[in-house]
Structure 1
Amino acid sequence: MTEVKICGIKNQSDVKIINDLKPDYIGFVFAKSKRQVTLEKAAELSKSLDGKIKKVGVFVDETSKNVAEIAKTCGLDILQFHGKEPPEYFNNFKGYEIWKSFVGDENIFENIKKYDGCADAFLVDSSIPGSGKKFDWNNIKGLSERYKIILAGGLNPENVAEAVKTVRPQVVDVSSGVEGEEGKSREKVEKFIGEVRLYG
């Protein structure tokens, strides 16, 4: 069964939608982004979140000290990295599940090999994370047979079924594809999760 991560949670309205519809994971973005949240805000939202939903922190080239502080304060379960963090960097985070992000290009297999053994899963995204643009999913066909793969980049309720059937990822990750005017759209989140659970 393919799991669902709803990323870019920013307010209590988002949390209510999440608690009602129950995806498997949510993401707090701590890197510079229009979806960035402060440590204080993420800690506040975490207290309202259903405890069965795993919390993922999204970081880009952050110091290990800051990551550790944020993870502890917010009760994060998973640390997701989108920067140029070297493999040895992940030795600083014992006890946390580690997701390392890559762009879904032709070199994806070679890039992942460098981190095999130091990351628990690999997130494959478009070249501009959060842009709503997808990449050619055929580039990573078969990858999920060897690794735990989180598929991101341009997913939405209309194309996620095709994505799941093509890539067979263990997790699908969406942010802009389920947004409304003031945060997440209940209708879009519900449809997205429904599509994944129907075809995943």
Structure 2
Amino acid sequence: MTMVKICGLTRGVDIEYANMLMPEYVGFVFASSKRQLAPEDAAVLIQRLKPEIKKVGVFVDEDIDVVLDTARICGLDVLQLHGNETPEYCRSIEGYEVWKAFRVEGERSIEEIGEYEVDGVLLDSFESGQHGGTGRTFDWNLAATVAKEHFTILAGGLSPENVKSAIEIVRPAAVDVSSGVETDGMKDYLKIKNS
């Protein structure tokens, strides 16, 4: 069974949706983004989240002390590193599950995955100047190759319309939905339920 991560929660009602639908993971963005939250604001939301749901913090090229402080303040379970973090940076983190994101443009995009000793590999679509949340898909056959060898989280343009096909092709451990389950930039209960 493929697990689900709903990323980019920003409102109390998003927490209510998560508590009703019980995805395995929810994500809070601490990097520059329209979904960015301050750690203190995320912590308030997280207090209302059912404890069975794992909390993922999304960071992009952040100072490691800031990442760890945020993780402590919010009680995060998983640290998702979505920038140009090195294998050494990832290895230096203790006490948390670490997911490293890779933006897939072609085969060369996935060649360096083997250099990383992480708990999960998140595959997202490549768009110049953006670190995710593009709402665009990429070649899922490349992702399927990675998923055979790694705990893979598939992201990038997933929506209720295409997520079933994506799972059949890639067979990821989890899917990560964000903009594809929004209406007018806000999380939509029915879209989340149908993903």
Normalising by structure 2, we get a TM-score of 0.94
Counterpart of 1:88, as a letter, is E
Q: How does 1:153-168 map to 2 (within 5 A)?
A: 153-168=156-171
Instruction: Tell me what 2:145 maps to.
Output: 142
Instruction: Tell me what 2:74 maps to.
Output: 74
Counterpart of 1:124, as a letter, is L
Counterpart of 1:143, as a letter, is V
Farther-moved stretch of structure 1 (104-113 vs 124-133): 104-113
Counterpart of 2:90, as a letter, is F
1:180 Cα shift? 2.0
Instruction: Tell me what 1:47 maps to.
Output: 47
Instruction: Tell me what 2:35 maps to.
Output: 35
CA distance in 2, matches of 1:138, 1:184: 28
CA distance in 2, matches of 1:181, 1:44: 24
CA distance in 1, matches of 2:50, 2:152: 24
1:182 Cα shift? 6.0
Is residue 20 of structure 2 the alignment partner of residue 20 of structure 1? yes
Other structure's SS at 2:107 match: coil
CA distance in 2, matches of 1:127, 1:91: 24
Other structure's SS at 1:113 match: helix
Query: How many positions carry a matched residue from both structures?
Result: 190
Other structure's SS at 1:156 match: coil
Instruction: Tell me what 1:189 maps to.
Output: 192
- Is the Cα–Cα contact under 8 Å of residues 6 and 27 in structure 2 kept in the other structure? yes
Instruction: Tell me what 1:121 maps to.
Output: 120
CA distance in 2, matches of 1:100, 1:179: 24
- Is the Cα–Cα contact under 8 Å of residues 102 and 110 in structure 2 kept in the other structure? no
Normalising by structure 1, we get a TM-score of 0.92
For the aligned residues, what is the CA RMSD? Answer: 1.1
CA distance in 2, matches of 1:14, 1:108: 33
- Is the Cα–Cα contact under 8 Å of residues 123 and 149 in structure 1 kept in the other structure? yes
Residue identity over aligned pairs, in percent, reads: 49
1:35 Cα shift? 0.7
CA distance in 2, matches of 1:55, 1:141: 25
Question: Deviations 1:97-146 (Å, cap 9, x if unpaired)?
Answer: 0000001221244110121xx21110000013111111111122232121
Other structure's SS at 1:130 match: coil
- Is the Cα–Cα contact under 8 Å of residues 131 and 154 in structure 1 kept in the other structure? yes
CA distance in 2, matches of 1:181, 1:133: 17
Displacement over 3 Å in runs of 4+? none
1:181 Cα shift? 3.2
- Is the Cα–Cα contact under 8 Å of residues 2 and 175 in structure 2 kept in the other structure? yes
Instruction: Tell me what 2:96 maps to.
Output: 96
Q: What are the ranges of 5 or more consecutive residues in structure 1 without an aligned counterpart? A: 193-200
Farther-moved stretch of structure 1 (61-70 vs 128-137): 128-137
CA distance in 2, matches of 1:76, 1:140: 26
Q: What are the ranges of 5 or more consecutive residues in structure 2 without an aligned counterpart? A: none
CA distance in 2, matches of 1:55, 1:131: 22
CA distance in 2, matches of 1:114, 1:134: 25
Farther-moved stretch of structure 1 (32-41 vs 141-150): 141-150
